[in-house]
Amino acid sequence: MKKIGLDVRNAEEVLDNPAPQSVNIPLGRLPDEIESQVPNKDSEVLIFCEKGGRAEKAKDYLESLGYKKVENFGTWRDWNESLKK
């Protein structure tokens, strides 16, 4: 199964520092958008933000919804670096 990068930064942050090949849902919009954007709760979801704090909140939230494979991946920098491998 494909890994999904979930960027929970706001739109302005993403414009300043894009994270290619990821899904952007700002933390505050997760309740409205996560199940339509990532419908398979068995997907491996790697969550990141600017420093990791919002990613941890998002991880807790996704786990409460029943997502089974979620990880706080850290920052957008970590995500972008992982794409080079």
Distances from the Cα of 8 to the Cα of 39, 60, 85, angstroms: 17, 13, 23
Identify residue 42 by its one-letter amino acid code. Answer: D
Check pLDDT > 80 for residue 12.
Answer: yes
Q: Which pair of tokens denotes residue 20?
A: 């290619």
pLDDT class for 2, splitting at 50, 70, 90? confident
Percent of the chain having pLDDT more than 70? 99
Query: Could you tell me the pTM of the whole model?
Result: 0.95
Annotated domain spans of the chain: 7-66
User: Distance (Å, rounded) from C-alpha 38 to C-alpha 49?
Assistant: 17
Contact present, 29 and 2 (Cβ < 8 Å)? no
* Positions of E strands within 8-55: 22-24, 44-49
Q: Which fold has domain 7-66?
A: Oxidized Rhodanese; domain 1 (3.40.250)
Express each pLDDT in 36-68 by its tens digit: 999 999 999 999 999 999 999 999 999 999 999
